């Protein structure tokens, strides 16, 4: 292969790796974070929201194929750039143009403003391909057939590498139409500025329904998912998932500034790579969440489970009962830690409103989860009998691994139950934390079967017991305890040097 061709074909791979590596700056599992530079090719603003009026049908562009802006932006990365609207204006359909182009190496398909109907699209064994529009465009893709006519996903990439998906809206507003965009790669990818309009057609629960799936199966592979917006969710009684990361994900994927809301079966479901039970073993690829808003999703708004995965600067809100698979499946949770260890949740804001519905916790731990750290995070709980932190043995016994909480602030008007519920977690530590819950009969931290724990340099103001011990030992150091209506004062009978309770 000539040197200039090798350079051109390697440009996208290098660009993706650089973009994602920049986006991952500071994502070390020890929780230390440096300044994150803006990834290359993200200087342009997010695509404008689709207008309320119907966009026009694609018509041939008077400019050469492709348009100059596309050539300037991507010309050195691809051997071929196809203007889909122009190419489909002759004897070929949009589906034929896209199927042929996307299954050819080193090809970018450009979608100018317009509406495009596509049949089920399967992409296999290609590299350096993409579907993209420009920031000024309003490109909308609709399924040409209903969901029941798909074998699996609507757009299905498998065994591919160096993929770019950018600036496209998927319109699922017609009842029964919609499906998954699945991107399972060996090498790198970028998925940026993608939108879903309309609910997933997820009421047939004999099938899996996922709006977006992203896996990197090569341990050295890197994926960047940036500014995906899927706020219309699924149906009450459906089983739709917003974004899913499968168990075979072995590389690194970062989700930056995404918006996922109103799904009945998890918002960002990214714990499968960490799973290890009953013959189901994940590849343990890292998942990093940076910013974004996750809102009113059932089961969990964000869930992670692979070693060293992180969530930073994310906002999670549940202020109404989310759609559910069934009435018995309602389980409101903010951030769920499912398996493995070494995860960090940092600088996040989680709010559970009084109308949120029943659930296991704003931050919730599976019993199989090992050790992890929550730091510099703010939690507001206004729903009664709802824990801000739930690390209990609800499923029959935990790992007994310690958990760490640093500079965590918990506020709100929730009544009854435990603000923090810890069970089977020896050596758990709270440092520089603040708990203030104003509702009646509200407990502070409840420890069960947890020895050698520590609560230090913290303030707990609740209407019930600040610290309750059940077969547990806790060292208390420099605490301020009281009720929300009583001025601060030192813990009665405690010295600044600490006190051990049994």
Is 343 in the same domain as 428? no
Percent of the chain with pLDDT over 70: 82
Residues 6+ apart with CB under 8 A from 62: none
pLDDT at 152: 85
Is 344 in the same domain as 389? no
Is 203 in the same domain as 274? yes
Helices (H) and strands (E) in the chain, counts: 4, 44
Is 345 in the same domain as 398? no
Which of 377, 402, 437 represents a domain boundary (last residue)? 377
pLDDT at 121: 96
pLDDT at 398: 64
- b/e for 364-401, b at 16 or more Cβ within 10 A? bbbbbbbbbbbbebbbbbbbeebbbbbbbbeeeebbbb
pTM to 2 decimal places: 0.86
Is 43 in the same domain as 28? yes
pLDDT at 90: 75
Rounded to the nearest integer, the mean pLDDT of the chain is 86
Which of 344, 377, 410 represents a domain boundary (last residue)? 377
Banded pLDDT at 387 (limits 50, 70, 90): very high
Banded pLDDT at 409 (limits 50, 70, 90): very high
Instruction: Identify the CA nearest to 350 among candidates 390, 301, 290.
Output: 301
Which of 356, 377, 398 represents a domain boundary (last residue)? 377
Residue 209 has which token pair?
A: 């329904």
pLDDT, mean of residues 52-71: 52
Range of the domain at 415: 384-502
Banded pLDDT at 400 (limits 50, 70, 90): confident
Is 366 in the same domain as 409? no
Question: Would you say residue 24 has pLDDT above 90?
Answer: no
pLDDT at 462: 98
Q: CB–CB of 386/359 below 8 Å?
A: yes
CATH code for the domain of 17: 2.160.20
pLDDT at 473: 97
CA–CA separation, 498 and 469 (whole Å): 16
Is 295 in the same domain as 392? no
């Amino acid at each position: 292969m000539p040197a200039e061709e090798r350079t051109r074909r390697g440009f996208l791979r290098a660009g993706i790796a650089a973009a994602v590596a920049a986006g991952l700056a500071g994502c070390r599992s020890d929780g230390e974070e440096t300044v994150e530079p803006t990834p290359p090719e993200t200087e342009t603003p997010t695509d404008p929201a689709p207008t309320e009026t119907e966009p026009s049908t694609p018509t041939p562009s008077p400019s050469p194929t492709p348009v100059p802006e596309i050539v300037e932006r991507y010309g050195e990365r691809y051997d071929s750039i196809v203007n889909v609207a122009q190419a489909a204006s002759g004897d070929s359909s949009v589906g034929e143009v896209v199927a042929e182009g996307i299954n050819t190496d080193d090809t970018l398909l450009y979608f100018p403003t317009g509406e495009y109907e596509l049949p089920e699209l399967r992409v296999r064994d290609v590299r350096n391909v993409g579907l993209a529009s420009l920031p000024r465009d309003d490109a909308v893709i609709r399924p040409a057939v209903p969901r029941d006519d798909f074998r699996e996903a609507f757009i299905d990439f498998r065994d591919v590498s160096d993929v770019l998906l950018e600036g496209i809206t998927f319109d699922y507003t017609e009842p029964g139409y919609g499906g998954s965009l699945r991107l399972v790669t060996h090498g790198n990818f970028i998925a940026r500025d993608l939108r879903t309009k309309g609910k997933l057609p997820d009421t047939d629960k004999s099938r899996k329904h996922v709006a977006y799936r992203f896996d990197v199966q090569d341990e050295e592979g890197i994926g960047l998912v940036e500014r995906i917006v899927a706020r219309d969710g699924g149906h009450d009684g459906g089983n739709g998932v917003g974004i899913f990361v499968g168990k075979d994900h072995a590389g690194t994927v970062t989700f930056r500034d995404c918006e996922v809301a109103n799904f009945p079966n998890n918002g960002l479901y990214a714990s499968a790579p960490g799973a290890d039970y009953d013959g189901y073993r994940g590849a343990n690829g890292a998942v990093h969440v940076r910013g974004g808003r996750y809102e009113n999703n059932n089961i969990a708004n964000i869930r992670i489970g692979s070693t060293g995965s992180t969530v930073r600067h994310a906002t999670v809100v549940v202020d109404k009962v989310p759609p559910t698979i069934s009435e018995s499946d309602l389980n409101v949770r903010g951030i769920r830690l499912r398996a493995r260890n070494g995860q960090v949740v940092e600088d996040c804001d989680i709010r559970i409103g009084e109308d949120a519905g029943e659930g296991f916790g704003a931050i919730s731990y599976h019993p199989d989860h090992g050790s992890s750290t929550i730091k510099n995070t703010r939690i507001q709980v206004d729903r009664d009998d709802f824990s801000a932190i739930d690390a209990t043995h609800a499923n029959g016994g935990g790992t007994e691994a310690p958990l760490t909480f640093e500079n965590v602030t918990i506020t709100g008007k929730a009544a009854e139950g435990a603000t923090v519920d810890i069970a089977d977690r020896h050596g758990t530590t709270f440092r520089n934390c603040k708990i203030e819950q104003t509702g009646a009969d509200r407990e502070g931290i409840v420890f069960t079967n947890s020895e050698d724990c520590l609560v230090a340099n913290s303030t707990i103001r609740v209407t019930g017991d600040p610290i309750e011990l059940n077969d547990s030992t806790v060292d208390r150091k420099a605490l301020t305890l009281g009720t929300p209506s009583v001025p601060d004062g030192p813990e009665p009978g405690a010295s600044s040097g600490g006190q051990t309770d049994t």
